[in-house]
Amino acid sequence: MVIRAVNDGASVGLALLALAVRPALAGALVAALVAPHLLGPWLSRSLSWTDSRYVLAGSFVLYGAAVAAAAVVMDDAPTVLTVLLVLLAGCAGPMLAGGLTSRLPRGETPRSRSLDSATWGLATTAGPGLAAVTNLLVGPVAAVLLMALGALVAAGLVLTLPPATDSPERAAGIRECLAHAVRVKPLRTMLLAIGLTGLGLGALPVAAPLLSTDLGHAPGSGGLLITAYGFTSLIGSLVNARRPFGGSPLRVAAGSLAVMGFAVGAAAAAPAYGVALAGFCLLGLANGTLLPTVLAVCRSYAPANGHAQLLVLASSVKITGSALAGIWSGLLTPAGGRTVVAVAAGALLAAAIVALSGRTKAADQGATLNQARSAGTRRTTN
């Protein structure tokens, strides 16, 4: 959870620092931190070459050192050096997301997937909030350095994990994984759906302050909407860990995305701020259910010894969608918050339709078989 909070908080800290020092650089730094996630599927293969703890720890150290260096030199160094340092940090980004999830054992249960997903909800709330508070109390450089320190702490923590127990067979190549993802319909549709999800959810940090203004509140009230979304996403994951939904993961994903689209649409049409807040709370609860199903699909249909690459690929697809959302939401800013939020709702509903289209009889039967295997694993363990 620490490293995921760092990942979310660092982008906020760098943006705040750039706005204070070089305002024109803020967007470029956020883009530089996100863009290297496209390399995630290629970088993830290193997780299968050696003990993944050392790969993850090294990535965390690289991330922390690079963002700290960028923060220290931003005021005096050439712009290109600052951007290159942030790009270097971004190259470690995929390991902070799907790479860490790949450490879950192959015999994982729905409960373990939900608990892993719960860390995302907590990180979404804690990381940006901690960066914002530190910026307010101490300053933007201190906010970024705190995130860098968190990355070093996370590197030490990941080394305390037990070594991976996966078989030392040849790691699946990225071309093999991509071809497999395109060929297998449930996997292909889930990746497309998660990309559309990022295209919708990624606009909310821009849209929430605008929506708050449209509803007669200060732009800062948009932070409460995002906080409510992150907190209820954590609650949704914990509830799902306690009592997971049954049935096909794609059906559960489609239902979750439909609820998310409805919730965001309700916020766009809200007559008052309280209604919009309720919509963001419902969005978070449904998102807490969506994340474990994405992990379940990736695990169920991954090629032999390619689950790590596939998990990082899914994470990279979503983050790329979020980056594109930052672009389109910025272009639509003059239209107002309601318009931006409404378009985000449309992207989520489109993701729900895509997820539903991926359901097949074979996929549903495969999901039932995997659930039975998971239940057998839990009984054996107990």
pLDDT, tens digit (0-9, with 9 covering 90-100), for 122-180:
666 677 778 878 887 888 899 899 999 999 998 898 888 777 655 444 455 566 777 77
Measured distance CA(115)–CA(171) in Å, rounded: 27
pLDDT score of 270 more than 50: yes
Measured distance CA(207)–CA(149) in Å, rounded: 30
Closest residue by Cα to residue 223 from 241, 236, 211, 239: 211
C-alpha distances in angstroms, 283 versus 82, 98, 179, 202, 226?
36, 22, 33, 13, 10
DSSP result, 97-133: THHHHTTS-TT--HHHHHHHHHHHHHHHHHHHHHHHH
Measured distance CA(351)–CA(86) in Å, rounded: 31
Residue type for position 293 = T
Q: What percent of the chain has pLDDT over 70?
A: 76
pLDDT of residue 168: 43
260-264, 301-305, 316-320, 376-380: least confident range? 376-380
Q: What is the mean pLDDT of the chain?
A: 78
Mean pLDDT of 193-208: 86
φ/ψ of 345, rounded to 5, equals -60, -40
pLDDT score of 319 more than 80: no
> Where does the pLDDT of residue 359 fall: very low under 50, low under 70, confident under 90, or very high at 90 and above?
low
pLDDT score of 379 more than 60: no
Measured distance CA(285)–CA(292) in Å, rounded: 12
> 304 — alpha (psi -120 to 50), left (phi > 0) or beta?
beta
Tens-digit pLDDT profile for residues 85-134:
999 998 887 777 666 665 555 545 555 555 665 666 566 667 777 887 88
pLDDT score of 314 more than 90: no
Pick 363 or 256 by higher pLDDT: 256
